[in-house]
Amino acid sequence: MLSTHERELKEGKIGVIPTDTLYGVVASSRVIDAVDKIYRVRNRATDKPCIVLISDTADLSEFGIELNDYQKSILEKAWPGAVSVIFPVTSGAWEHVHRGQNSIAFRVPEDESLRKCLSQTGPLIAPSANKEGEKPAQTIEEAKTYFGDTVDFYCDGGVQDAEPSAIIKFAGDSVDVIRGKFDL
């Protein structure tokens, strides 16, 4: 049975929720208007893709991604966890997510309840809960200061002050670390 917020996300609403790193402002990656709304309320550069949260590696197939054995072995170490992985996604069906960059960073969160939510809602774009260039919200009160009633709902998860996820990208049979720390 879908929770109220899971149903709202499937219907194209946006909200602020705790992820396992920071608060994120989230929307269904499948709903173009909801994705565009997040860009507006965050004042985000329109050519900058957002990280997409998925429930497990099987969700990558929806984006046309097929994993090789090397990639599978790395993802077994990285996911679930605070590591976002950039993959090429060239399908025009996902241009509203990849924003013309032809790649998207995906993450399988550590938090089991969030993964269960994602299994119901499908993939969610999840940039940090802040206006572009501002400090990420660490509390719901800070998020409400940024967004007020421009988002449809807020889920309070207490103080969220973890580091943002590491970001990695496959380069042949190696991994490039784009942000943060990732040990093979």
Tens digits of residue pLDDT in 82-137: 999 999 998 889 999 999 999 999 999 999 999 999 999 999 999 999 999 999 99
Please indicate, yes or no, if residue 153 is contained in any of the structural domains.
Answer: yes
Band (35; pLDDT cuts 50, 70, 90): very high
Please indicate, yes or no, if residue 130 is contained in any of the structural domains.
Answer: yes
Residue 78 CB contacts under 8 Å (≥ 6 apart), including other chains: 85, 168, 182
Q: Whole-angstrom Cα distance, residue 120 to residue 70?
A: 29
Band (174; pLDDT cuts 50, 70, 90): confident
Please indicate, yes or no, if residue 69 is contained in any of the structural domains.
Answer: yes
Provide the token pair at 28. Answer: 């269904």
Provide the whole-model pTM: 0.95
Please indicate, yes or no, if residue 150 is contained in any of the structural domains.
Answer: yes
What pLDDT was estimated at residue 21? 85
Q: How many domains does the chain have?
A: 1
Please indicate, yes or no, if residue 86 is contained in any of the structural domains.
Answer: yes
Residues 52-86: pLDDT tens digits? 999 999 999 999 999 999 999 999 999 999 999 99
- Domain hosting 40: range is 4-179
Q: What is the mean pLDDT of residues 43-57?
A: 95
Please indicate, yes or no, if residue 149 is contained in any of the structural domains.
Answer: yes
**CATH code of residue 129:** 3.90.870.10
What pLDDT was estimated at residue 1? 46
What pLDDT was estimated at residue 91? 87
CB-count exposure of residue 125 (10 Å: 0-12, 13-18, 19+): buried
What pLDDT was estimated at residue 182? 85
Band (183; pLDDT cuts 50, 70, 90): confident
Please indicate, yes or no, if residue 58 is contained in any of the structural domains.
Answer: yes
The yes-or-no verdict on residue 164 having pLDDT over 90 is no
Please indicate, yes or no, if residue 184 is contained in any of the structural domains.
Answer: no
